[in-house]
């Protein structure tokens, strides 16, 4: 049991629940429903994410010995060689699963794996660190689109939004053991406000009130047909009203999950509150992914992603997410 817990801490098990939403929201952004290749993309994402976790602690083992001696490697509960072996094996498994999903998926997974390794081994403590992390999360989002449809172009805007959130969280995390600065959590709070506004509204090129007779509702309900050229309000279209309500609720959940701990860390940038801000930012990834799926009209996919949040929160009570 002790060894299992050590590996759960090394791999940061609760953070694992933030991963499936990348591929699912990426697939949703293309307008296609999830399929068997989407599941392969999720498996690939999980492997590459956990490879990065194991490699992160291997690369930081000396730093953790001074700042976080309770971590699995400096405490001696897991050998550094075992962590490195796990990182290598998980990377190979992730690439193999992406290859099964098709050439387009592998073409995204390969640079994703390279970005993960580059971040952990070379970029983490440089100004390029947050950019690399943002790129990794964005590529993971594109992996879902590439695996599901072979296309990534439609997923690029939402990948940028997801990457922006990750950039903000990573910037805050760079001072989680020292604290002392209100600027990173303040900047992250501003980014959260901007992202909330963007995901709460309909994407460019669509309208929440659309002409009747030209289509159906975008996910949870169908449109009401009427006379040609007459514009139907959200009140007249129950399905559209549900879509708007779901998108708004998920955007609000994202803002609350990330915004509260960011505010606390900005007011008092102590190490404990900064670490809580990082944890809140990581957990907020799930409602953001769900909001992106809802924004793309995939209401059921959005709900499926959102369900992962309470599960991850339950495990976070037992194992630290950071």
pTM > 0.85: yes
Distance CA 222, CA 301 (A): 16
Distance CA 316, CA 29 (A): 29
- Averaged over successive runs of 10 residues, the pLDDT of the chain (322 residues) comes to 89 95 97 97 98 97 93 96 98 98 98 98 95 98 98 97 98 84 95 96 62 40 37 53 91 97 95 93 97 95 97 89 84
Q: What is the pLDDT of residue 128?
A: 97
Record the tokens describing residue 166, joined without a space: 């990750």
Q: What is the pLDDT of residue 210?
A: 42
Residue carrying structure tokens 């801490």: 9
SS3 sequence of 21-84 = HHHHHHHHHCCCCCCHHHHHHHHHHHHHHHHHHHHHHHHCHHHHHHHCCCCCCCCCCCCHHHHH
Record the tokens describing residue 164, joined without a space: 């922006």
SS3 sequence of 241-264 = HHHHHHHHHHHHHHHHHHHHHHHH
Q: What is the pLDDT of residue 312?
A: 92
Are 139 and 115 a contacting pair, CB within 8 Å?
yes
């Amino acid at each position: 049991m002790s060894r299992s817990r050590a590996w759960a801490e090394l791999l940061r098990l609760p953070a694992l629940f933030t991963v499936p939403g990348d591929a699912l929201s990426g697939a949703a952004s293309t307008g296609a429903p999830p399929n068997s290749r989407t599941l392969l993309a999720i498996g690939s994402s999980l492997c590459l994410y956990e490879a990065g976790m194991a490699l992160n602690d291997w690369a930081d083992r000396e730093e953790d010995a001074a700042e976080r001696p309770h971590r699995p490697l400096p405490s001696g509960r897991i050998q550094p060689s075992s962590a490195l072996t796990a990182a290598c094996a998980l990377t190979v498994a992730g690439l193999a699963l992406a290859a099964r999903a098709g050439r387009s998926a592998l073409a995204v997974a390969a640079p994703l794996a390279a970005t993960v390794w580059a971040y952990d081994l070379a970029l983490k403590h440089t100004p390029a660190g947050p950019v690399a992390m943002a790129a990794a999360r964005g590529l993971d989002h594109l992996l879902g689109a590439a695996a599901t449809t072979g296309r990534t172009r439609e997923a690029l805007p939402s990948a940028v939004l997801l990457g922006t959130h990750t950039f903000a969280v990573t910037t805050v995390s760079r001072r989680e053991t020292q604290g002392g600065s209100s600027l990173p959590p303040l900047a992250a709070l501003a980014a959260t406000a901007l992202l909330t506004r963007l995901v709460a509204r309909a994407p460019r090129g669509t309208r929440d009130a659309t002409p009747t007779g030209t289509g159906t509702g975008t996910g949870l309900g169908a449109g009401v047909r009427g006379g040609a050229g007459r514009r139907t309000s959200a009140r007249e279209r129950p399905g559209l009203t549900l879509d708007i309500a779901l998108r708004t609720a998920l955007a609000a959940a994202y803002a609350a999950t990330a915004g509260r701990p960011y505010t606390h860390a900005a007011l008092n940038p102590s190490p404990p509150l900064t670490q809580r801000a990082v944890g809140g930012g990581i957990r907020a990834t799930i409602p953001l992914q769900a909001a992106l799926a809802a924004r793309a009209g995939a209401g059921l996919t959005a709900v499926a992603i959102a369900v992962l949040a309470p599960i991850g929160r339950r495990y976070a009570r037992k194992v630290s997410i950071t």
